[in-house]
Every structure is written in structure tokens, then in C-alpha cells.
Structure 1
């Protein structure tokens, strides 16, 4: 039986562990933090990810904790609707799109894996491969004690600051900054539109805000992400995802907005915690792994968080990885097959997100109707609207018919 060591107990790592065990395979899951708590803010799970998690037995728990999204609506800063795209079941998928608190999702996955099956306070230090497997050198966070774990496969699911990726690709792999600074929080407020719409207002070339509900019941929790262009694209050394942001730093960028759908100042002020971090990615890799070592999720393909698709892609990685390891007797061959299947589409997504594909059309709206509009047909042509819709579909969606009709990835 193939034995896998997974580094990182985020969404990708936990889904990988759950998928491997569902396929009858053994795995060890280690996490650098000393406790897993429901931290963070909102996340969207696209139908392609919801299908996989449902097939792992989590459908009812997702439905109870998340909110099924009906539309993704793009507006200008005055609230005028540019484009509204149906989401989830409204778009024809057999599965919904869920907005959910990232921490809630992580706790659902953790409960399914079993908290006792995660080694906390343990990080990857090094690894060594030979013909028979891989020796993983682990280090306890608190004591610094090192020990070795023998396995058939090592999977780095340790995020955008991945230690596994750094060991595999040590020569020049910087964070690529878009020039956009992001602030994020979870506040409370009245239902936005129908109470299940993901609202995207403004432009990444100046200031943009994304809001969506993440709770199906009271209190009405609203996840918000403010994105402001503050510099020119370049490289940076580090990005601290837990850095505290300040209300006064973000609020001023929206002080002159006249926005009818959301009371932006009140939403910001109602958020008990604000996080601040740069919008970054990394260049696509020419290869993810070597031999019996590979990457998964943000460790493999970090992308700008504008397509509501990063976490969903990690879920797909985990499911495809488990399928290959369960059906290919040679572990190195299984990882090679996994990479062949998953690296090309995720590379395309990295580059697609980096292009900020809808911004060209939103900028046209800003230029043609700086003071707002009554009817978008007076501002954009049908061809321009179609181009905007296609650009968003390209970074977010899977083919409806293909997803609905393809065979299950479950084993057994």
C-alpha cells in the first residue's frame, strides 16, 4: 500500500488526506502550526470543487455551513450593473457554488480527517529520495527536534510560502506582486441584493471591492475584499498573510464612493479584524516535482485571488492525486501522471488571473461613463459584454456539460 506524507493541513492538504484514505491508501499529515482554528475570512467553492467534496461525504455539512450563490454581479463604483452571471445551479451545474468561511471549511475537512490524524507543530526540513522511497526530515516547531519519516510519496501542500517548493526549486522563484494591495474582513450587514449575490464593484486599476454573504442564517456575515492599486508590478521577498490591517488605511480609498448596494464604511467598521496583504502569485513552474515528491494547491500554482477558484483548484489537485496513486502501481509514475493532468490547466489559470482579464472592459465603462449610467447598453456593445463574460468564465468556471456528465473520480 502506498504511503504518503502530506505537508500542510490547509484545504488542499486535508482534502488530499481525506481522498487518499477514501481510496484505501495510508497517509501522514503534518502541519507547522500548533493548533488549527477557524481563522481567516471567506472563500468560494466552485461547483467542480463542491462535486468532489460531496463525493467525499461532505455535501450536507457544506450546505449547512455555506451559502449557495445565485449570481456574480459586476458594477461600477456608482452601483450600475455592468454584467450579471448566474452561478452554481442557476448556471446549469448539478452542484451549487458555495460561499463559506474558510475556517469553517477547514474545520469541516479536519473533522472528516480526524484531528488526531494531524501532527501539529511539525514542519518539513528536508527530504532524501532513493530507489525504494523518500525519507522525509521533519522538525518539531517548539523543540527543534528532528526526526525522519519513511514514505513512498511526499506531497507539499504547504501554501504559497511552501518549504517543499523551495527545496524542489531553490534557484529564483520570487513572489510576483501585481501592484495591488488587499484588505479583507468579515462584517455584518443587511442582505445585499437577493442575499446570495457575489458583488464585484469598481476596478483593479483604481479601487475595487468584492462582497458576499458567508452565512445562511443570522447574523448576516458579509465577507469583503478591498483591492487598491498602490504601486507598479514587481517582485517582493515575503508576504505575511496574517498581517493586521488598519481601518483608516483602507476606508479612505472608498470615502468618495456613492454606492447604493452596500454601506461600505459601516461594513468596514463592523469587522472585528482586518487583514492586509499584497496581491501576489508566482511564475508557473516548468515542473512541479521530481520522482516521488510533488506539490499541490498554492504550493504548486499560486494565483491572484480574483477568480474565486484557488481553493477549488486545490480540491481538484487532491482528488486527481489520490486517483493516480490508487490506480498506478508505481508511485513516481502516479505523480508524473498527476502532474501531466493538473499542471497545464493550472498554469493557464495563473497566467489568466495575472492578466486581470475583465479590467479592460471595466475601464471602458469608467472612461465612457465616469459619473455612472442608467443602462449598460448605452455604454458597452454586446460584443464587449460577451468578451467580459468570456474572460470571467475563463478564470472561474468549468464546462457545465463536461462536469455534469463525466464519471466520478472516486475509487472503489
Structure 2
């Protein structure tokens, strides 16, 4: 249903009630701003699969007072492991607070993260802060403000424009705001890798707080980590997994496209290790989603005048390095800080000047030097064979150098 609109004009109009949009609403509310959120979905519910909240993003959420609620739902990730497809350990690293970060790395169901943010927005901003069932199809702006052009999701009828001092497009990978700003933008860039995602109830592995990257894209790569503890009263966890495989063709990008286990499971049929039975994990999944690993070339600009972009609408990236949600959260903090400036247009320009170069570096790093580059090196140096001693394949110093390359490239995006 369409919620009634508050009679007062908002300072900032947020298009999209995803992770970035809701975080921005909380940030701006904390700064004393009047906020209105427009959301195309008629009902907001828990969707998606697992997500990692990196320590720099956890800090922002903690400073919004959300860490207790998030920690109660998430798994605090402590260990990162790299394996080849034969189950041999290549590297181990400590994550989160164990790696000297001030805040933890949280592995959480996307729906749980969204629920915490949504409840906080409703509690703090009131029941009318989010208008659901409203599709933003574009905008107009003038010297006095900006107007979102909106339709009813259910029947497409035109609704009265919604005015504000500024408009932020947080409307995701199919952003209408981005499309209006960049009508001639090219198609998404396909990496040549397709991924399938799912969640499975299973016993804990490797201590119950580990993130595993294993294999390589040519023959099959997996990312596996738990996102809920003791889901059945018997100690089992909800395990999130992502299967990645070089694939010539792919479906159109949509986060919730159903996938088929038979399209990729053969690549992992012999992945039965003493620490995990991968075929069983995949076969027992509650459901499977398919998504091509695509991104967009960094934009020459994010906004004009009183309009800007945030999160996936601004910088869709290949989902590597757990940086998608983190960068949206950092965008929200930066925009709040810049909007302390009284001149709205200058504030948005300064926000873009800070965040656009930083996030562009992450987009490009995810293409060229992702955090799983260690797996690529071992795959190529061994010829995709088991090794006797990993130190004869790649030294600890070389592995650390590869990891540091990604950390340095993404450091500019960590405020």
C-alpha cells in the first residue's frame, strides 16, 4: 500500500530503502535533517542471502547505535582461509578485531541487516518516513529544490511529485536516477564469471567463525561462511555459499533470479574434505540464486545540482572483497558530513569529490587485483594440481604482498 505523505517538505529525499538508503536516512536523522524515503516495493521484507560487513562499515553502524542488534543476529567472523580445490590449505589470516581492527567483521543474512536498519528508521524517524509502493521514474529541479516524479507501483498511475532540497538516488543497479543522469551509458561489463548463491543449514566448520575462499574460477571457486548461529537449537548454523565459474553466457542481472544446482554442481562433485562436504552443502540448500559477476565502468560524474547517487546506483561493482555494502555505508556517512554545509549543491559536489574517486578505485581493483588473487597464483603455478608443500609454490611474503595490494587499492575508500 502507499503510505500517506507527511505534509512537511523534506530536506533530503532518498530514493530506495535498501541498505544504503536506510543507512543514509539514519545518518541524516542523527544530524537533524528531515528525511523522506521512497521505495518501489509495496512491502518491505527480508530477502537475499549472506553479506559481510567489513570493520570500517561496522564502525559506522556501531556509531549509529546498531551494533548490539546486529551482533545478536550475525556471526562475528574471526578467520579467513584460502584452499585449493583439493582441500589443501594455502593461507590463513585473522580477521576483524583479531587483526587489530577496532570493530568486528560481521557475516550476516542480508535480510537480517535490512531488518535492523528498517526497524531503526521506523523507530527513530516515525512510521511515515518511508513511503512504500512508490516508483520514482525521474526528477526535475530548479533553484528552489528538486522534485521526484513518481508513480504508484501497483497500477502505474502518476502521483503528485515529491519535493525536497536534495535528492539521493539509492535505487540500486537499475537506478532510474542514474539512467536520467547518464541516458547513453553502456551495458554492464561482464567479467566472464557467473555465480550462484545459496544458504544451507549445516554443522559449523573450521571453528564456526571462518570465511573460506577455495578453488579457482576456471574449474570452480567457492566462498563459504556462516551467517546465523544455532538456527535449530542443535548447534547448526546457516551457511552462506557462493559458487563462481567461468561461463560464456549469463542471464540478465537481477539479485533474486532463481538458479539451478545442476548448472554448476558438477564442478564441485569431488570437493569432499575432512573439514566440509561441499556437494552435500550445495545439495541441501534452501534455494539457489543466480547472478552474473558484472559491474559498470566508473562514472565521470554522479550528480547535477541538487541530485546525486549512492551505493550500487553510484558504483556497482563485481561482488568481491565484501565491499559493495561497505562502500554504500561509507557513502552515507560521508554524505551526512558534507551536508553539514549550508549550500546543498556545494555539499553534494564535495561528497562526490571525496567518494567517487575512492569507490572507482574499488571497482577497478575488484576487476584486476581481487583479494582471491592468491588462489589464482596457486592455480597457475601448480597447473591445477595438489602440492606437497605450499611454501614451494608461493612464499608467505608473496601471499602477503598480494593481499596488501588489494588492501592498499581499497584503502582510499575506507574513511
Fold match (TM-score > 0.5): yes
1:358 Cα deviation from its structure 2 partner: 4.9
> Corresponding residue for 2:322?
308
Does the CA contact (< 8 Å) of 1:175 and 1:237 recur in 2?
no
Residue 373 (structure 1) shift: 2.4
Q: Which residue of 2 aligns with 1:77?
A: 85
Tell me which residue corresponds to 1:253. 267
Among 14, 19, 22, the alignment partner of 2:30 is: 22
Q: How is 1:333-352 mapped onto 2 (pairs within 5 angstroms)?
A: 333-352=346-365
Q: Which residue of 1 aligns with 2:151?
A: 139
Alignment match of 2:18 (pick from 1, 7, 10): 10
Q: Take 1:318 and 1:167, find their aligned partners in 2: how far apart are those partners? A: 22
The answer to whether the Cα contact below 8 Å between 1:48 and 1:398 also exists between their aligned partners in 2 is no
Q: 1:239 aligns with which of 253, 272, 278?
A: 253
Q: 3-state DSSP class of the match of 2:358?
A: helix
Gaps of 5+ in 1: 404-412
Are 1:168 and 2:181 an aligned pair? yes
C-alpha distance 396-207 of structure 1, shift in aligned 2 (>3 A): farther
**Offset, 1:392:** 4.0
Shift of 1:7: 0.6
SS in 1 for 2:294: strand
Decide whether the 8 Å contact of 2:361 with 2:410 is kept in 1: no
CA gap 1:315/1:125 in 2 versus in 1, 3 angstroms = same
* Equivalent pair of 1:9/1:29 in contact (CA under 8 Å): yes
User: What is the match of residue 366 of structure 1?
Assistant: 379
Query: Structure 1 27/268 Cα, relative in aligned 2: closer, same or farther at 3 Å?
Result: same
Q: Is the 8 A contact 2:252 2:292 kept in 1?
A: no
Contact 1:78–1:260 (8 Å) recurs in 2 = no
Give 1:61's aligned residue.
69
Shift of 1:65: 0.8
1:290 corresponds to: 304
The yes-or-no answer on 1:151 pairing with 2:164 is: yes
Instruction: Report the Cα offset of residue 256 of structure 1.
Output: 3.3
Q: Is the 8 A contact 1:85 1:389 kept in 2?
A: no
| Counterpart position of 1:226 | 243
User: 55, 60, 71: which is aligned to 1:52?
Assistant: 60
| Conserved 8 A contact 2:83-2:90 | yes
Could you tell me the TM-score, scaled by structure 1's length? Answer: 0.92
SS in 2 for 1:184: strand
* Structure of higher RCO (CA pairs closer than 8 Å, 6+ residues apart): 1
Query: 1:356-411 CA distances to partner (integer Å, 9 max, x unpaired)?
Result: 43565423322443332243112113442122221342466679xx97xxxxxxxx
Tell me if 1:34 matches 2:42: yes
Aligned-CA RMSD value: 2.0
Corresponding residue of 1:386: 400
Q: Deviations over 1:306-339 (max 9, x none)?
A: 11111011001011111111x2001101100111
CA contact (8 A) 2:145 2:165 kept: yes
For the 8 Å contact 1:308–1:396, the answer to whether it is kept is no
Cα distance in structure 2, aligned partners of 1:121 and 1:2: 19
1:143 deviates by 2.5
Q: Which residue of 2 aligns with 1:211?
A: 224
Question: Can you list the C-alpha shifts for 1:219-257, whole angstroms capped at 9, x where unaligned?
Answer: 41000000010128xxx8941221111122221121133
Is the 8 Å Cα contact of residues 69 and 98 (structure 1) preserved in structure 2?
yes
Query: Alpha carbons of 1:2 and 1:148: their partners in 2 closer, same or farther (altered >3 Å)?
Result: closer
- What are the residue-to-residue correspondences of 1:86-105 with 2, within 5 Å? 86-105=94-113
1:129 aligned to 127, 134, 141, which one?
141
Aligned mates of 1:242, 1:100 — CA distance in 2? 17
Alpha-carbon distance in structure 1 between the residues aligned to 2:410 and 2:237: 25
Task: State the shift of 1:260 in Å.
Answer: 3.4
